[in-house]
Structure 1
Amino acid sequence: MTITPDFEDVYRNDPDPWDVATSWYERRRTQLILAMLRQERYGLVWDAACGTGHLARELMGRAQRLVCTDIAGRACALTAAQVQQADACSTVCVVERSGLPQAPSALGGRVPDLVVLSEVLYYLDADERAATWEMLDRLCGPCTDIVAVHWAPRPEGSHLSGAAVQRELNAFLGQRGWWRLVTHTDMEFVAVLWSQDAPQSIGR
């Protein structure tokens, strides 16, 4: 039986439980996510599991409007503090306590241009994952980019490995007409960018 961590307690006990601010793995992962993005700047971005807020802080420079959500209220508070330190003064950021498979009310019914799923999907059980895939397919438009990045092994308290959850999402999105446009795979983590828009070139 898998017991998913109580993330409220996790962040209460340690505001940076995975050493996001200092570990080379985390900093490298963040920079690779940013490098994978097809657009220099997106209109509406949803960071669907903002955690400590370090990635959200970097996304501020790539978005006109950023919606950050997390199931843990403490994580939302940490993210709010991080984005206040960002240099992107023109970017509007909203932080909302919300967990997958729900889409946040802060999106206001609008179609996001980018959805970021970082280190979260393997903590969802099978029913929650299936509901998340369907929600994403309904929510996103033909030009939306989805980026998912996960530690390749299976973390403690998760339902499956990062490699397995990425394969599951690959299979679902492929059946719904999404294209894998950017893929990064190494021993540490797996990162993929999907879109229904398949251009002849990327980043021009």
Structure 2
Amino acid sequence: MPLSPPYFDSLFAASDDPWGFRTRWYEQRKRALTLACLPASFYDSIFEPGCANGELAADLAPRCHRLLACDASAPAVRLARQRLRDVPHARVETMTMPADWPAEQFDLIVISELGYYLPPADLATLARACLGSLTDTGTLLACHWRPLIDGCAYGGDAVHEILAAETGLPRIVHHQEDDFVLDVWTRQGQSVGRAEGLT
């Protein structure tokens, strides 16, 4: 069975940083790679579902005019709001994915360490929601832990296969390590070099 919001509530009740997002070099490096893989330097609007305590959202905030982050765990939302309290263009909401998917358009959607917590049908629904919410020049970035997690049916590779199959978007970045996989898909399917006229 997928892990439920009460499970995550208990994690955040015990620690304001249960995965060591602030303290582990692994997490700091992964965030740096995530930001480096974005094909644009700046976006009008970014959506990050499953934002946890807001560490990645805080790094995404300087890259956009408008940021929406959300999580199903109320304690996580409180922490993320505190983390982003000095960012007036950032909004953090309590939302369960994909049921509460926002009726908005985004230039960038970031699905980080979320997909394997969803049942396969919900992950497919989320992927289609991403596609429906991307602007004509929109980008979808996904980054997930590859090994299986207790309580989850699949690892990061399977999550990305489902996202790719359901969106049908061209992939412009693929980064894979033993620990995690990171992919970027875009509407236009152009590399950064091609978009800037280098190729």
Indicate which of 97, 122, 134 corresponds to 1:100: 97
Report if the CA contact (8 A) 1:179-1:194 is conserved: yes
Secondary structure in structure 2 of the residue aligned to 1:102: coil
Moved more, 4-13 or 186-195: 4-13
Name the CA distance, whole Å, in 1 between partners of 2:178 and 2:128.
29
* Mapped pair 1:119 → 2:135: no
* Mapped pair 1:36 → 2:37: yes
Name the CA distance, whole Å, in 2 between partners of 1:166 and 1:199.
19
Moved more, 178-187 or 5-14: 5-14
Report if the CA contact (8 A) 2:109-2:141 is conserved: yes
Tell me the amino acid that sits aligned with residue 193 of structure 1.
V
Q: CA RMSD in A?
A: 1.7
Structure 1 unaligned spans of 5+: none
Q: Deviations over 1:138-173 (max 9, x none)?
A: 222321100000011112222211111112212222
Name the CA distance, whole Å, in 2 between partners of 1:61 and 1:141.
20
**Which residue is 1:189 aligned to?**
180
The percent identity for this pair of structures is 28
Structure 2 unaligned spans of 5+: none
Tell me the amino acid that sits aligned with residue 17 of structure 2.
D
Question: In structure 2, do the counterparts of structure 1 residues 3 and 49 end up closer, same or farther at CA, with 3 Å as the change threshold?
Answer: closer
* Mapped pair 1:4 → 2:3: yes
Report if the CA contact (8 A) 1:103-1:135 is conserved: no
Displacement of 1:3: 5.0
Normalised to the residue count of structure 2, the TM-score between the two structures is 0.90
Question: In structure 2, do the counterparts of structure 1 residues 71 and 155 end up closer, same or farther at CA, with 3 Å as the change threshold?
Answer: same
Tell me the amino acid that sits aligned with residue 192 of structure 1.
D
Normalised to the residue count of structure 1, the TM-score between the two structures is 0.88
Name the CA distance, whole Å, in 1 between partners of 2:191 and 2:31.
26
Question: In structure 2, do the counterparts of structure 1 residues 35 and 201 end up closer, same or farther at CA, with 3 Å as the change threshold?
Answer: closer
Tell me the amino acid that sits aligned with residue 37 of structure 1.
L
**Which residue is 2:157 aligned to?**
163
Matched positions, count: 193
